[in-house]
Amino acid sequence: MLMKNDRGIYSQPRVELSIRWARICAVLVLSGTLAVAGASAALAQESAAEIAPTATTTYSLVSNWSDTANPNGTWKYRQGSSALPSVPDFDFAGSSPWTPQPAWAPSNNAGNFLPAWLKLRSGAAGYDAQVGDVVVHSTDDANGPNSGVANVTWVSPGAGTVTLSGGLWEVRDIGRSNQWQVTHNGASVASGELLTGDGHGRSNPETFEKSEIAVKSGDVFELTVTRLTTYRYVVGVNWAIEFTPTPPECTLQDSATYNESAGVLTMKFTLENEVATTWNVWLTDLNSLTLLSSEAQKVTYPAVTITKTHNLSKEGIVGVLSTLTTPTGGIICSSWVLPNTGTP
């Protein structure tokens, strides 16, 4: 709407111009490159959803195995809550049917070599395991009295859904039994027992599958193998996780107030983001755009309140534009407020 001023010139009100300008564009300086982006949070969310990756990635305990790194990407080979150290020439303190090879275990010393995780580099007659199989030797009081329970964890790299599938079997039936359990952030997802004479072997392991489990970044899945009998034994383990990411969700809201006597603009942000982002805040009036802050924002969940202040003389109505951005998704959410700083 045009209004006539005291000189007979038609112009648009300051507020209307600010709102219109915000809706049309905001010139953003991102990583040294000028980019034009809409200031609407809804539009930013929609755009992010359109370009967010949706491809499913399969993580495999066997295929992703490492003899040199622990943690190994999303995987960690553990005893209790601790990562196991590397033992380059492990052979169960000389009692192994397999050739000495790398393993994750407390040591290779008698009385202290359990639990142990390894990917077999050799075969052995009478043992239902082949080269390339991942096996775990559960803990007992004879060779792991001070050790934690054998387990392996997978940590979700982002928000999305996962499908779990796997199988376990006793590598040799000598009258010893184990139990196993898969948990999601401590809650049981699947469990079972590997009992002597149960008929499960490499070709027909005890299997599990769970589909469409919703996850957030940092969610932990843990597979634990523990003994049921006095002595433990070796268990073959297959475990695959299909991860399908979903567009990251975030919240960015601003409640801005101005203290005329102190000349201070206070911006109280409510912020939540499921992926690491860059958080930018700009101050604008009709003639300029000033970057107040640009900083890395780690995954923040649940929402937190963060207050920022800026010394500012009276400039009438100004605009505060804030965005959360990712390298591949662009602006995933934003906020736009128009605080009144009083008549100059």
CATH number at residue 275: 2.60.40.2550
pLDDT at 251: 92
3-state helix, strand, coil in the chain (%, to 5): 5, 50, 45
- Kindly state whether residue 342 falls inside one of the protein's structural domains: no
Q: Which token pair is 133?
A: 């199989």
Mean pLDDT of the chain: 84
DSSP state at residue 217: T
In the predicted structure, residue 38 carries a pLDDT above the cut 90: no
Q: Which token pair is 38?
A: 């809409």
Question: The whole model's pTM is what?
Answer: 0.64
Q: Among 7-21, 231-245, 264-278, 289-303, whose mean pLDDT is lowest? A: 7-21
Q: Of 245, 272, 296, at which residue does a domain stop?
A: 245
CB of 325 closer than 8 Å to CB of 277: yes
Using alpha carbons, select from 205, 63, 225, 79 the residue that is nearest to residue 134: 63
Which is more confident, 302 or 316?
A: 316
- Kindly state whether residue 113 falls inside one of the protein's structural domains: yes
- Kindly state whether residue 193 falls inside one of the protein's structural domains: yes
What is the arithmetic mean of pLDDT over 250-271?
A: 96
Q: Of 219, 245, 271, at which residue does a domain stop?
A: 245
Cα 216 to chain centroid distance, Å, stands at: 6
Please give the C-alpha separations between residue 225 and each of 16, 26, 30, 264, in angstroms, as whole numbers.
Answer: 66, 56, 49, 59
Q: Of 198, 224, 245, at which residue does a domain stop?
A: 245
Same domain, 252 and 215: no
Domain that holds residue 287: 3-52+248-337
Same domain, 71 and 212: yes
Same domain, 176 and 261: no
Alpha helices in the chain (DSSP H): 14-24, 41-51
Q: Which CATH number is 225's domain given?
A: 2.60.120
Same domain, 145 and 266: no
- Kindly state whether residue 343 falls inside one of the protein's structural domains: no
CB of 152 closer than 8 Å to CB of 75: yes
Same domain, 102 and 212: yes
Q: Which token pair is 119?
A: 């990917």
Same domain, 77 and 193: yes
Domain count, the chain: 2
Using alpha carbons, select from 213, 179, 214 the residue that is nearest to residue 198: 179
What is the arithmetic mean of pLDDT over 273-279?
A: 90
Same domain, 99 and 216: yes
Which is more confident, 17 or 102?
A: 102
